[in-house]
Structure 1
Amino acid sequence: MQTVPMRGDEAAQTRDFIQSLCGEFQKHNYIDPSHYEHIDVKRGLRNADGTGVMAGITQIGNVQGYYIQDGERVPMEGRLIYRGISIEDLIHGFMSEGRFGFEETAYLLLFGALPTRKELADFNHVLSELRPLPPNFTEDMILRAPGRDIMNRLGRCILALYCYDEDPESRSLENELRQALQLVARCPMIIAHSYAAKRHYFDNDSLYLHRPQEGLSFAENFLYAMRHDNRFTEREAKLLDLCMVVHAEHGGGNNSAFACRVLSSSGTDIYAAVSAAVGSLKGPRHGGANKKVMEMFRYIQEGVRDWKDDGQVRDFLLKLQRKEAGDRSGLIYGMGHAIYTLSDPRAKLLKQFAKTLADEKGMLEEFELVEAVERLAPEVINGSRGVPKPLCANLDLYSGLVYRMLDIPEELYTPLFAMARMVGWCAHRVEEVYNPGNKIIRPAYKAVAPLQKFIPLDERG
């Protein structure tokens, strides 16, 4: 009688076989880096000078960090523009009036103009009506299959919303806008409930599920839903609102917005397209970088005895770069950007407001350590380059610290980014499908594998 191998033996055999497949893959899948040069491949869809390959046209957002003069890039102070309005002017506008600004920012990005007082009130009312999740959605899609990673849960839940939509495939403008508004409105509750499930099933904590509240802003509703006791201060809500505004959009070429546009160009539904954007944002080279920044600072705080000593901080940054400390990647997270050169306007804005909160929270030493890294890292990074380049702090250097001061758990840093960027994704989605001149996005890949003959199975050795 044939015996059934023990489960442990089966697992070991599977691991051994996969290890052998790794060797087989490496033997047949190496691509000589020289191909990229003589074929003139635009790696990362970027030109040789670092500028992006022009892939489309948009009216939604613009990111500026340099200008071209005599064929060369000239660094400039960074600018972020939403529908023709600079981010600084937008934020100053609503903050000078003591208002929350994310809702009117969402209106501006989705529809192209600032709302009137009545339009903003109507918009807020519609979002409030759309905010509750469908009946039994939390029970069926979140609690029955909880997960440790909130971004993966968000992507799955967005795909699942297709099944709760009575007209998911219509490409009419009215239907696209309805779906977009529902996604924007529901995203905070999906994240809050997914976090509650994670905390309950994996962290052995009590399960708290809070319903959205009428009359509260996006930022207030999220803080209300996330916290056990529903308590938050107005300053906390206003700072979170600011974070959401600066995260809401970053041009059509950023990785997640482009992913959304690529899928949308195929004619697929909005749920599939936006879930792809969520998957993109999760990556540590994109939205997930804020978590890597906080991880890096934990290493710095443990490895530097005197945080106020620039020499000690510089020495540790050199260890990070030499892969002798930290995650051994050789990267100093939170520094540098594909477009911004002299400054990232988002980082400047968050830094301005973070200092005040750091003083209130008794975290000035942590804030000053972040400032030290911002000041010293360019020298360290450029020291290993043949030709020094302008290097500025990016949004991620300060956003993680702000979230920490707001007592937001680290596993929610990137989901919060997604909650805000949902507006930008939906705006790019609608622009892609509504513009009749757009085609399916299909860049070329040069095939470099040599031709070979088919060998019969018994002759393959």
Structure 2
Amino acid sequence: MDILQHDDFEGILIDKLTNLAEQCNLLKNTALFDKYQVKRGLRDADGRGVLVGLTEVGEVHSYIVDEGDIIPVPGMLMYRGISITDLVDGFLKDDRYGFEETCYLLLFGALPNKEELADFQQLLGNYRKLPEHFVRDMILNVPSNNIMNKLARSVLGLYTFDDRADDTSIKNVLKQCVMLIASFPTMAVYGYQAFNKYYADQSLFIHSPRADYGTAENILHMLRPDSTFTKLEARLLDLALVLHAEHGGGNNSTFVTRVVTSSGTDTYSAMAAALGSLKGPRHGGANIKVIQMLEDMKQNLKSWKDDEEIENYLEKILNKEAFDRSGLIYGMGHAVYTISDPRSVIFKDHIARLAIEKGLQDEYEFYSKVETLAPKVISKVHKRDKGVSANVDFYSGFVYRMLDIPPEMYTPLFAISRISGWSAHRIEEIVNAGKIIRPAYKCVAKRRPYTFMDER
């Protein structure tokens, strides 16, 4: 059989199996979900998440319940009981970077003093460099066109270099988590540099991480050919990392971390699974869609300042007549927040200065207009009163673009940040020594007898 015949046969077989699978899919009948009271997406009918666990790591607060009624309130996000707004105000007031302090808080449950923070920063600095030959053998020799897949493979590769990889004692898992927090930026940036060389045919730049730099500084140092960056650029990237570090136990990738951890598996496997979750466009890739949508709008609008024209185009997007025909205004709305996403509020308050530095004031004002007008258009088109606000993805992609960070690195940056939250939840799951997480699925297939081959 030649190649063409093989491909034809494979295509016919796949089509046949696909049609068979679709015919057997009884779950398209949504009435079955109602009949058996299935919580689709682990969410109640009113949109609230099904309570499946307790945590002290992070809290997402967006409503109060008054006599059974759900009343939306401005969104709040707490890390270990501390408001994200207060945390950000604290380190910015002291003119400090905040991501390392945030990692310490999430891992150990308390804010570090000066000596503790210095010791922790030094520990991270010691762990930033990858094992000998790892960069050549695991990253450069096996490049990938997707940095998230490359990052997951690199994480699993580190298992081989750990003599106590399967030791799930708290002390050892904590050491592994700190090492991964420190090395994620190096693995992600080197994965991008390999992609840039072998897929984009660009020059290869491999800068060693600097122990005296923090996480945000090292990312810019390793990513840029000349390793230069301004203090404001590093400040904004550091802020982005802080805002993405943790978001409660119910977000998809953190829940995956806890589910996989509950099986008793090793740290590297748990984190690779979380990366697989975050890669999904419904979770970690939304900020790229925001950038693409706004670029499409700029190409099709005669004026970025005409409210009526902007509203009309947003209506076309919602009516599946423009952009990607999905009917979604990306960056608007959130599974939990309705009135406001505190991360977006903080971002917007700080990115104006960078927009001025980059000469992008007009674009910043355009984003602000879309943020203001989109909720009104969504309410009009969908005829609903439920509040809609900009989420963190609405501005994060704009920040990364102003920092000249390539789109291939947007979701990996999310992972570089969220590994701190995943680590805290993994440790908490181990400390609690809970049962393996195993929800129920009801089989609704009809029972039938086996048919012998000559009777089929």
Shared fold, TM over 0.5? yes
Listed one character per residue, the Cα deviations across residues 70-121 of structure 1 (whole Å, up to 9, x for unaligned) are: 1121010110101111011111111111111111110000000001111111
Q: Which residue of structure 1 lines up, in the alignment, with residue 371 of structure 2?
A: 374
Q: Which residue of structure 1 lines up, in the alignment, with residue 450 of structure 2?
A: 454
1:26 to 22, 27, 32: 22
2:73 match: secondary structure: strand
Contact 2:91 2:97 in 1 (8 A): yes
Q: Which residue of structure 2 lines up, in the alignment, with residue 195 of structure 1?
A: 192
1:39-58 equivalence runs, <5 A = 39-58=36-55
Q: Which residue of structure 2 lines up, in the alignment, with residue 104 of structure 1?
A: 101
1:114-133 equivalence runs, <5 A = 114-133=111-130
Q: Which residue of structure 2 lines up, in the alignment, with residue 309 of structure 1?
A: 306
Contact 2:343 2:392 in 1 (8 A): yes
Q: Which residue of structure 2 lines up, in the alignment, with residue 333 of structure 1?
A: 330
* Residue identity matched to 1:11: D
TM-score, scaled to structure 1: 0.97
Q: Which residue of structure 2 lines up, in the alignment, with residue 441 of structure 1?
A: 437
1:188 match: secondary structure: helix
Q: Which residue of structure 1 lines up, in the alignment, with residue 247 of structure 2?
A: 250
Are positions 1:299 and 2:296 aligned together? yes
Q: State the percentage of identical aligned residues.
A: 49
My pick for the range that moved more, 196-205 or 384-393, is 384-393
2:163 to 157, 166, 171: 166
* Residue identity matched to 1:457: M
1:383 match: secondary structure: helix
Please state how far the C-alpha of 1:386 moved relative to its aligned partner: 4.7
Q: Which residue of structure 2 lines up, in the alignment, with residue 278 of structure 1?
A: 275
1:350 to 340, 347, 351: 347
2:233 to 233, 236, 245: 236
Please state how far the C-alpha of 1:16 moved relative to its aligned partner: 2.2
Q: Which residue of structure 2 lines up, in the alignment, with residue 12 of structure 1?
A: 8
Report the Cα distance in structure 2 between the residues aligned to 1:59 and 1:6, rounded to whole angstroms: 60
TM-score, scaled to structure 2: 0.98
Report the Cα distance in structure 1 between the residues aligned to 2:68 and 2:450, rounded to whole angstroms: 49
Report the Cα distance in structure 1 between the residues aligned to 2:417 and 2:326, rounded to whole angstroms: 29
* Residue identity matched to 2:426: R
Are positions 1:214 and 2:211 aligned together? yes
* Residue identity matched to 1:226: L
Please state how far the C-alpha of 1:12 moved relative to its aligned partner: 2.5
* Residue identity matched to 1:59: E
Are positions 1:260 and 2:257 aligned together? yes
Instruction: Figure out how many residues of one structure are paired with residues of the other and give that number.
Output: 455
My pick for the range that moved more, 247-256 or 63-72, is 63-72
Contact 2:62 2:74 in 1 (8 A): yes
1:364 to 361, 365, 377: 361
Contact 1:146 1:201 in 2 (8 A): yes
Please state how far the C-alpha of 1:293 moved relative to its aligned partner: 1.0
Are positions 1:290 and 2:287 aligned together? yes
1:73 match: secondary structure: strand
Contact 1:138 1:193 in 2 (8 A): yes
Contact 2:128 2:211 in 1 (8 A): no
Listed one character per residue, the Cα deviations across residues 320-345 of structure 1 (whole Å, up to 9, x for unaligned) are: 11111111111111011111111001
Please state how far the C-alpha of 1:19 moved relative to its aligned partner: 1.5
Please state how far the C-alpha of 1:194 moved relative to its aligned partner: 0.3
1:54 match: secondary structure: coil
Report the Cα distance in structure 1 between the residues aligned to 2:294 and 2:384, rounded to whole angstroms: 28
Listed one character per residue, the Cα deviations across residues 110-159 of structure 1 (whole Å, up to 9, x for unaligned) are: 00000111111111111111110111111111111101110111111111
Please state how far the C-alpha of 1:282 moved relative to its aligned partner: 1.0
* Residue identity matched to 1:275: A
Residues 165 and 102 from structure 1, CA distance in 2 versus in 1: closer, same or farther, beyond 3 angstroms?
A: same
* Residue identity matched to 1:245: V
Please state how far the C-alpha of 1:284 moved relative to its aligned partner: 1.2
Task: Quote the RMSD (CA, aligned, Å).
Answer: 1.1
Contact 2:287 2:410 in 1 (8 A): yes
Listed one character per residue, the Cα deviations across residues 419-458 of structure 1 (whole Å, up to 9, x for unaligned) are: 000100011011101113x111111112111111111122
Report the Cα distance in structure 1 between the residues aligned to 2:379 and 2:42, rounded to whole angstroms: 24
Listed one character per residue, the Cα deviations across residues 146-195 of structure 1 (whole Å, up to 9, x for unaligned) are: 01110111111111111111101111111011000010000000011000
Report the Cα distance in structure 1 between the residues aligned to 2:435 and 2:149, rounded to whole angstroms: 29
Please state how far the C-alpha of 1:40 moved relative to its aligned partner: 1.1
* Residue identity matched to 2:312: D
Report the Cα distance in structure 2 between the residues aligned to 1:281 and 1:69, rounded to whole angstroms: 34
Report the Cα distance in structure 1 between the residues aligned to 2:235 and 2:295, rounded to whole angstroms: 27
Contact 1:278 1:418 in 2 (8 A): yes
Report the Cα distance in structure 2 between the residues aligned to 1:305 and 1:280, rounded to whole angstroms: 39
Listed one character per residue, the Cα deviations across residues 213-232 of structure 1 (whole Å, up to 9, x for unaligned) are: 12111110111001111111
Contact 1:283 1:289 in 2 (8 A): no
* Residue identity matched to 2:73: M
Please state how far the C-alpha of 1:209 moved relative to its aligned partner: 0.7
Please state how far the C-alpha of 1:246 moved relative to its aligned partner: 0.4
Listed one character per residue, the Cα deviations across residues 395-415 of structure 1 (whole Å, up to 9, x for unaligned) are: 000000011111111111110
Report the Cα distance in structure 2 between the residues aligned to 1:423 and 1:59, rounded to whole angstroms: 14
Contact 1:192 1:222 in 2 (8 A): yes
Structure 2's unaligned 5+ residue stretches are none
Q: Which residue of structure 2 lines up, in the alignment, with residue 156 of structure 1?
A: 153
Please state how far the C-alpha of 1:359 moved relative to its aligned partner: 1.8
Contact 2:245 2:420 in 1 (8 A): yes
Contact 2:165 2:266 in 1 (8 A): yes
Contact 1:64 1:78 in 2 (8 A): yes
Listed one character per residue, the Cα deviations across residues 18-69 of structure 1 (whole Å, up to 9, x for unaligned) are: 1122111111113211111121111111111111111111111101111111
Report the Cα distance in structure 2 between the residues aligned to 1:8 and 1:332, rounded to whole angstroms: 43
1:381-420 equivalence runs, <5 A = 381-420=378-417
